[in-house]
Amino acid sequence: MINSSSFAFATRAVHGGAEPDPSTGARAMPIFQTNGFVFEDQAHGADVFAMRRQGFSYSRGSNPTVAALERRIASLEGGTAGVALASGQSAWLVALLTLCATGDEYVGSSQVFGGSLGLMKRLDKRLGVKCAFAEPIPERIAAAITPRTRAIIIEAIVNPTGEVVDLDGIAEVAKAHNLPFVVDSTLASPALLRPIEHGADIVIHSASKFLVGNGTSIGGLIVDSGTFPWQNDKRYPLVAGAWEDYENIVPAERFPKNAFASACRLLGLRELGPGMQATTAFFILTGIETLPLRMRRHCENAEAVANFLSMHEAVASVSYPGVPTHPNHNLARRYCPDGLGSIFMITLKSADKAREVLTRVNLFSHLVNIGESRSLIAHPASTTHRSLSAKERASFGITDATLRLSIGIEDAPDLVADLAQALA
């Protein structure tokens, strides 16, 4: 099975985590559309349930098709194990609840997707898991840490601004305080940026975006770097403590190379239950095969469109850091030399013009997904970030005149022409 980093990224994107089916010879990963799996005998079933023996019992917890996706994303990110979930939001929830209990705190970037902000606020109100929000720069993150802090969580490329965060700097802060560093790398994908190479301990993806690539499937992924020293750390009882109802398994001792992933599987899949469907995993596996090719085209198109818009008289600002005059340009290029993704905002000179553009574009679809092969456009203030206060939206640069663009893989001149006529 091809998982080794000795193979190039594009090779692992096609082959990683999967091999021809030994019983049928099927070359594509089969969809194991079944709830349960037959045991050889009573001892076999008991061993699988107690995690003494590898195997499958019930598809909510593990499934061969899903496991292939987990191996592939771990290989691409340079981690030791992956956990697939029903959505990116589920991945955030499971990661945070595995790290934090009632009364605990974590430092969270104030510059993340609106849905993630909503989740962090709700966890505080409902469960008493408090987020100390901070701007995603090292000194602000460091200033927000308290004795109750259990983790740091950020987005590598911010949704929807497209700005790239200083991962190395924040990783140094996390290491100095012995805190796990969690990075959502959805907008980069491992084709452009691999956070573990910059000190991340845990990586999260909404696989619904660039990984599947065509807007057909919802899924989330957690990748364990295998590098955080969990053993005997009483701050993290689900990772370093005994699970009494699972024969006192201590994930950090039984699975030292993927302790966090194992704890996420126990809590997230066996107990909370937001597992990924086998068919969804198949679609995402198939999408990842072309990820390097698509990301190259996404980035080339985004740069062409952003440069055009930055010169247009109807556009007040463009948030894409690929524009040479953008203040984030040099940092972004350092972390993402192969491309800066294709999600960014434009702010027009009036809210009326923004509403007009939404109805005049032809190639851009007005919807709230991102990372599809087709180009997309949305109005964040009234959709993805509507739950935020006006002050919070302003911190992103979002106004009623702001539009979010997700640039697809169409021909760039066609996209430019479509926006030109919509802005006229």
**Does residue 3 carry a pLDDT above 70?**
no
CA distances from 143 to 154, 170, 404 (A): 15, 12, 31
CA atoms within 13 A on the CB side of 66: 28
User: By the 8 A CB rule, do 38 and 56 touch?
Assistant: no
Domain limits, CATH 3.40.640.10, in the chain: 9-288
Q: Which residue's entry shows tokens 């004795």?
A: 147
Q: pLDDT for 60-69, tens place per residue?
A: 999 999 999 9
Tokens, residue 5: 């980093």
Report d(CA 280, CA 63) in Å as an integer.
Answer: 12
**Does residue 4 carry a pLDDT above 80?**
no
Q: pLDDT for 46-55, tens place per residue?
A: 999 888 899 9
**Does residue 1 carry a pLDDT above 70?**
no
Mean pLDDT of the chain: 97
- DSSP string of 28-59, one letter each residue: SPP----SB---SSHHHHHHHHTTSS---SBT
Burial of residue 305 (number of CB atoms within 10 Å: 0-12, 13-18, 19+): buried
- Domain 9-288: which CATH number of 1.10.10.10, 1.10.490.10, 3.90.1150.10, 3.40.640.10: 3.40.640.10
Mean predicted confidence (pLDDT) in 87-95: 98
**Does residue 406 carry a pLDDT above 80?**
yes
Tokens, residue 277: 């469907």
Q: pLDDT for 326-382, tens place per residue?
A: 999 999 999 999 999 999 999 999 999 999 999 999 999 999 999 999 999 999 999
Q: Which homologous superfamily is 292-423 in?
A: Aspartate Aminotransferase, domain 1 (3.90.1150.10)
Report d(CA 204, CA 186) in Å as an integer.
Answer: 7
**Does residue 178 carry a pLDDT above 90?**
yes
Containing 360, the helix (H) or strand (E) segment is helix 351-360
Mean predicted confidence (pLDDT) in 210-222: 99
Q: pLDDT for 113-145, tens place per residue?
A: 999 999 999 999 999 999 999 999 999 999 999
Q: Determine how many CB atoms are found less than 10 A away from the CB of residue 56.
A: 18
**Does residue 25 carry a pLDDT above 90?**
yes
Q: pLDDT for 260-272, tens place per residue?
A: 999 999 999 999 9
Q: Determine how many CB atoms are found less than 10 A away from the CB of residue 316.
A: 15
For the chain, what's the residue count?
424
User: By the 8 A CB rule, do 400 and 345 touch?
Assistant: no
Q: What is the pLDDT of residue 2?
A: 66
DSSP state of 381: G
Helix 278-288 and helix 64-77: axis angle, to 10°? 30
Mean predicted confidence (pLDDT) in 220-249: 97
**Does residue 420 carry a pLDDT above 80?**
yes
Mean predicted confidence (pLDDT) in 239-265: 96
Which has the closest alpha carbon to 155: 198, 115, 203, 201?
203
Q: What is the pLDDT of residue 6?
A: 85
Q: Which residue's entry shows tokens 């994930």?
A: 251
3-state SS assignment for residue 131: strand
With bands split at pLDDT 50, 70 and 90, how would you rate the model's confidence at 387? confident
With bands split at pLDDT 50, 70 and 90, how would you rate the model's confidence at 73? very high
Q: What is the pLDDT of residue 50?
A: 87
Q: What is the pLDDT of residue 388?
A: 86
Tokens, residue 186: 């959805």
Q: What is the pLDDT of residue 257?
A: 97
- Terminal Cα distance for the chain, rounded: 54
Report d(CA 113, CA 109) in Å as an integer.
Answer: 10
Q: What is the pLDDT of residue 13?
A: 98
Mean predicted confidence (pLDDT) in 9-24: 95
Q: What is the pLDDT of residue 306?
A: 98
Which has the closest alpha carbon to 358: 323, 307, 405, 415?
405
Mean predicted confidence (pLDDT) in 190-201: 99
Which has the closest alpha carbon to 209: 323, 94, 342?
342
Tokens, residue 173: 């802060």
With bands split at pLDDT 50, 70 and 90, how would you rate the model's confidence at 163? very high
Mean predicted confidence (pLDDT) in 388-396: 89
Domain limits, CATH 3.90.1150.10, in the chain: 292-423
Residues in contact with 48: Cβ distance below 8 Å, sequence separation at least 6, in sequence order: 39, 54, 55, 56, 57
The percent of residues above 70 in pLDDT, for the chain, comes to 99
